[in-house]
Homo-oligomer: A and B are copies of this chain.
Amino acid sequence: MRTKLFILSSLISFTFLAQAQEISNGVMKLDELRKPAYREIINIPEVNGYQVLKCDFHTHTVFSDGLVWPNIRAQEAWEEGLDAMALTEHIEYHPHKDYVEVNHNRSHELIENLSKRNNVLLIKGTEITRQTPPGHFNAIFIGDASSYIEDNVSEKDWEAVMKAAEQNAFIFWNHPGWKPNIEGSYEWLPFLEDLRKKNALHGIEVINGFGFHMKALDWCVDKGLTVMGTSDIHNLVGHDYDRSRKYVHRTMTLVMAKERTPESIREALDAGRTVAWASKYLAGKEENVKNLFNACVKLLPSHYSQEKNGVRTNFYEIQNKSDLYFELELTSGKGTQKITLYPMSSQLLSAEAGQQSLSYDVTNAYVRSDKFLNISFSL
């Protein structure tokens, strides 16, 4: 095929390689300095036949108070391996309005084709931005946003949210308690209960960016609402999050869906099959978090055994075949006290022979504000 001394393809050398830098028409291309461009695959196995879709339904652009043109959000979503995203501009808040058109549909429209081409599901959304309390609500799967209520006087709070309900949107309450020391801002007010009863409130942001709103998890569990995690990104994802660490991703919602379609996502959201994921932290209903854990982590059969001072110890490999991160702490049985499972890695676990099982708290996985997921390994 080739008889030449030099062939195509290569990379960095610590010593001097003969490397070719292309000069075309008197311009030398320095493309070697570019960041490689690709779509990362976030590796999470199927959970009981459901695909685990990576979704961020709370983001902003210059069309409300974000700092980027919509294309950057599309680009970030593609590169970071998101399956679905929504741009959720504030209806009531437009600090750039002297320079940028106020149009509640615009940012979505501008990246519709780009998102389709990129195979990222773009879900139409908005942020209904009321005074606190009750605060902000995201509505996704909305229709035309042009007639939503811009005036954020409290008299219109109900009507404002109802605009979304009328469009059959999926509506969730954002970052409860985000502003400290405002009376009623972190309470389950009658307004919320009324929304819920009218089928105009379906979920709560349990984790918003770098804030884990712990009470919200309990409300979701107790009132049958869907657990949401979002980035609420205004700046760049790569600026806010330390993406140089393998386990750090933007905060998002893991949605266990039958298919990778908007309809399946909606079905899963309505059914509450979600876990909020903030890099090292997971929060969700016990069943969902447990199923997710069990899909990712396996204890292999014991591969080695040794006896010391009359006590026999069996050794196991515990594998985390996902890009999630887990910390385990022994709660019953005699075995390794603490285990950190980094993404796509395994650890050794040892257990005294003769036991049926070991139980661990997964101390980075919350199923209530005051309760970790507890799992048991059969030995």
Residues of A within 8 A of B (CB): 1-3, 5-41, 43, 62-63, 66-69, 71-72, 75, 96, 98-101, 103, 106, 113, 116-119, 177-178, 180-181, 186, 207, 209-215, 235-236, 238-245, 248, 251, 278-281, 300, 303-304, 306, 315, 317, 319-321, 327, 329, 337-338, 340-342, 344-348, 363-364, 369-372
- For A6, give the chain B residue with the smallest CB separation: B20
Q: When the two chains form their complex, are residues A281 and B340 in contact, meaning their CB atoms are under 8 A apart?
A: no
Q: When the two chains form their complex, are residues B119 and A340 in contact, meaning their CB atoms are under 8 A apart?
A: no
Q: When the two chains form their complex, are residues B12 and A8 in contact, meaning their CB atoms are under 8 A apart?
A: no
CB neighbours (8 Å) of A69 from chain B are 62, 66-68, 96
Bound-state CA distance A300–B299 (Å) is: 32
| Shortest distance between the CB of A22 and any CB in chain B (Å) | 5
| Shortest distance between the CB of A109 and any CB in chain B (Å) | 10
In the complex, the 5 A-B pairs of residues with the closest C-beta atoms, listed nearest first = A11-B32, A6-B20, A10-B19, A28-B212, A35-B242
Which among B3, B39, B344, B370 is the interface contact of A345 at CB below 8 angstroms?
A: B39
State the number of copies, please. 4
Most chain B CB atoms below 10 A, which of A28, A119, A241? A28
- For A69, give the chain B residue with the smallest CB separation: B67
Most chain B CB atoms below 10 A, which of A7, A43, A300? A7
Q: When the two chains form their complex, are residues B33 and A5 in contact, meaning their CB atoms are under 8 A apart?
A: no
Which among B13, B36, B101 is the interface contact of A34 at CB below 8 angstroms?
A: B13
| Shortest distance between the CB of A264 and any CB in chain B (Å) | 15
CB neighbours (8 Å) of A303 from chain B are 116, 119
| Shortest distance between the CB of A251 and any CB in chain B (Å) | 8
Q: When the two chains form their complex, are residues A98 and B96 in contact, meaning their CB atoms are under 8 A apart?
A: no
Which among B5, B30, B338 is the interface contact of A281 at CB below 8 angstroms?
A: B30
- For A73, give the chain B residue with the smallest CB separation: B67
| Shortest distance between the CB of A200 and any CB in chain B (Å) | 25
CB neighbours (8 Å) of A43 from chain B are 43, 321, 344
Q: When the two chains form their complex, are residues A20 and B23 in contact, meaning their CB atoms are under 8 A apart?
A: no
Q: When the two chains form their complex, are residues B346 and A41 in contact, meaning their CB atoms are under 8 A apart?
A: yes
Q: When the two chains form their complex, are residues A14 and B41 in contact, meaning their CB atoms are under 8 A apart?
A: no
Q: When the two chains form their complex, are residues B238 and A372 in contact, meaning their CB atoms are under 8 A apart?
A: no
Q: When the two chains form their complex, are residues B279 and A40 in contact, meaning their CB atoms are under 8 A apart?
A: no
Most chain B CB atoms below 10 A, which of A35, A63, A212? A35
| Shortest distance between the CB of A216 and any CB in chain B (Å) | 9
Q: When the two chains form their complex, are residues B39 and A346 in contact, meaning their CB atoms are under 8 A apart?
A: yes
Q: When the two chains form their complex, are residues A38 and B177 in contact, meaning their CB atoms are under 8 A apart?
A: no
Bound-state CA distance A26–B26 (Å) is: 33
Q: When the two chains form their complex, are residues B5 and A248 in contact, meaning their CB atoms are under 8 A apart?
A: no
Most chain B CB atoms below 10 A, which of A5, A22, A98, A370? A22
Which among B12, B27, B186, B371 is the interface contact of A212 at CB below 8 angstroms?
A: B27
Q: When the two chains form their complex, are residues B119 and A317 in contact, meaning their CB atoms are under 8 A apart?
A: yes
- Given A68-B72, A100-B99, check contact A210 B372 (CB 8 Å): no
Q: When the two chains form their complex, are residues A212 and B30 in contact, meaning their CB atoms are under 8 A apart?
A: yes
Most chain B CB atoms below 10 A, which of A13, A62, A337, A364? A13
CB neighbours (8 Å) of A235 from chain B are 72, 75
Q: When the two chains form their complex, are residues A116 and B344 in contact, meaning their CB atoms are under 8 A apart?
A: no
Q: List 17 A-B contacts (CB under 8 A).
A: A6-B18, A8-B21, A9-B19, A12-B32, A12-B36, A12-B242, A13-B32, A18-B20, A25-B180, A25-B181, A25-B186, A26-B213, A33-B210, A33-B241, A35-B239, A68-B72, A238-B238
